[in-house]
Amino acid sequence: MSEALVENEDGKIKNESGLKRLDVLCQRGRGFLGTRYAMMGGAMSWLSERNLVSAISNAGGFGVIACGGMDPYQLRTEIQATREMTTKPFGVNLITLHPEMDALIDVCSEENVSHVVLAGGLPSGKSIQTIKDNGAKVICFAPALVLAKKLVRSGVDALIIEGSEAGGHIGPVSTAVLVQEILPHIRDVPIFVAGGIGRGEAIASALEMGASGCQLGTRFVCAKESIAHPNFKKAFIRAPARDAVPTVQVDPRFPVIPVRALKNEGSEKFMTFQREMVNKFQAGEIELYDAQMDIERFWGGALKRAVIDGDIVNGSIMAGQSVGMVKKEQPTHEIIQELVEQAAEFLNHKYG
């Protein structure tokens, strides 16, 4: 962290003791990621691509490509393009339910990806072992202590605990509860905390509780390097935290993972679409699995309409509750510096 030391007008280092303490607190996370800061970029579909990922890594964080629905060729292209824009470490996020999961793992191996994040469900032991055998580190999401312990036994190298304050697909438990449930009991691997983190004070607090680092997504949506449509960014800048709400499941036979997004007409259309699928299933027009898959696929198209096309009325504006702390468009390096300085100032004030 010493590289982040900032001088004030009279040439003295600001928050020097806080920066040194921050350096110690995030040493394990920085060592694991191979970065200047123990700060991961959350993998956001359509946004976590070469431009934003390389910008986060170049600024000292750890960018993560969101593979999402990419096929192996598309993922390889994105990895190679990102590597042309940064010499710093970055990772790839793979969705465990992807139909070409094995081929995507092979691409990561062939492209010498150093860290693979597995998301979207409990990964198979085979996937974990294959990635490790290929020489990469495996990072998985742990939504509960029992699953965290299971993943550690399965050989994962690090965990992310993400609370319901996060944007996109979310679990039912808040970050504040998860860190208390998991951090005191898992010491074998580094743990990165995510969900609702928008300022450096929250990062410092998580580190003091035993985290090795943090992951942020919403905070980077309005980075200058983010390819999000200007309309999408404006929606983030205007929105208060209370506008980022989770979707509701219409029918228990169709267990849809809640999605946190800014409320708009698109949110209402999703509710209507769920009901349409339920009615089609009851009428025998569609199988249960196909109906559920159609419901899940709704979000892929709705998100692209908002992020890329700028349709913030009908599209899905996925956002975490930290959206209320996004006040303007900024270069990625400036966002990261702000977070570091806030964390250091907090620690400096607390300990002197």
pLDDT digits (tens, 9 = 90+) for 272-285: 888 898 899 899 99
Which strand ranges, in their side-by-side order, compose the sheet holding 90-95? Answer: 39-41, 213-216, 191-194, 158-162, 137-141, 115-119, 90-95, 63-66
Give pLDDT, residue 13: 52
Q: What is the mean pLDDT of the chain?
A: 93
pLDDT per position as a tens digit, 83-136: 999 999 999 999 998 999 999 999 999 999 999 999 988 999 999 999 999 999
Strand ranges (DSSP E) for 122-233? Answer: 137-141, 158-162, 168-169, 191-194, 213-216
Phi-psi region of 243 (alpha: psi -120 to 50; beta: other; left: phi over 0): alpha
The CA dihedral of 239, 339, 260, 297, to the nearest 10 degrees, is 110
CA atoms within 13 A on the CB side of 239: 28
Which domains can be identified in the chain, with CATH numbers? Answer: 2-226+326-351 (3.20.20.70), 240-318 (no CATH)
Q: At what angle do helices 200-208 and 16-25 cross, to 10 degrees?
A: 50
Position 31: which residue type?
Answer: G
Enter the tokens of residue 73. 């060729």
35-66 pLDDT, tens per residue? 999 999 999 999 999 999 999 999 999 999 99
pTM: 0.93
Distance of CA 249 to the CA centre of its chain: 23
Contact (CB, 8 A) for 168 and 47: no
Per-residue pLDDT, 247? 86
Q: Phi and psi dihedrals of 173, rounded to 5?
A: -110, 140
| CA nearest neighbour of 318 among 282, 253, 266, 283 | 266
